[in-house]
Amino acid sequence: MDKLIQITSGRGPLECQWVVAKVLKIFLEEAKNNRIDYEIIHRENGDENLTLKSVTLLLKSKNVNEFLKEWLGSICWTGKSTFRKLHKRSNWFIGVFELAGLEKISFNEKDIQFQTTRSQGSGGQNVNKVNTAVRATHIPTGQSVFVQDSRSQLENKKLSVERLKEKVLEQNIIQLQKRMQETWNNHLQVQRGNPVRTFSGTDFKKNYQEKTFKKQRSQLKNELKNYRNDLN
């Protein structure tokens, strides 16, 4: 099962862009640990080094739905800004959303139509008298390239496939970006409160609920100890 996921800072400030980069690292580590294949489809760099405004990933796994239960929604990082030392805000929110209805367009060499012709030199003069130049057209998209780098038709054909693939995938990215923008506009204001996950500190540790229980148990033990001392 394939899923397209976007991790975004929404309209959040630079601190949220920093959180996106941090969350991405943890997200990919957990995906790897859960044997989920992933591919980064697109990323939008933030306003500073090591920050990201958004990143879009393709996830592939039978267990991807179970994995995403712990991720989809608002993510909160609690800590002081590393960019604005005097800023009073300590809770920063980003969003993890599924891009429903978006599909990654594949590239298949079987969809290419080849035409051979003579290579042309400057001024339209023939470079040679054999058909070594290649025009390759990707039928589903209509994208095409013309290659005459080599005197070998086979080499030109190989080059045409590589260049056509880059061109088609580049066009796919542009289309994907447009559709992502439409989806992203619905999440410009990332919801604050009720985060599915909370991290804290510059080391970006996950806040586990068990820590609270441990603190409570320790407090109860101390109270019980003091109570026994009072009885004695």
Same domain as 6, residue 85 = yes
Same domain as 201, residue 155 = no
Each residue's pLDDT tens digit, 168-202: 877 777 776 666 666 665 555 566 778 889 998 87
- Kindly report the CATH number assigned to the domain that includes residue 135: 3.30.160.20
* CB within 8 Å of 205: residues ≥ 6 apart: 199
Same domain as 54, residue 24 = yes
Query: Per the domain annotation, does 161 fall within a domain?
Result: yes
Each residue's pLDDT tens digit, 161-170: 999 988 887 7
pTM over 0.85: no
Cβ 85 vs Cβ 58: under 8 Å: no
Same domain as 184, residue 93 = yes
Each residue's pLDDT tens digit, 109-136: 889 999 988 876 654 444 556 678 999 9
Mean pLDDT, the chain, integer: 80
Query: Per the domain annotation, does 225 fall within a domain?
Result: no
Cβ 177 vs Cβ 153: under 8 Å: no
Q: From residue 4, how far is each of 64, 78, 162 by CA, in Å?
A: 11, 27, 25
Count of domains for the chain: 2
- Residue 60 domain boundaries: 2-103+179-219
Tokens read off for 120: 């042309």
Same domain as 86, residue 66 = yes
Backbone angles phi and psi of 228, in degrees to 5: -65, -40
Q: How far apart are CA 203 and CA 1, in angstroms?
A: 33
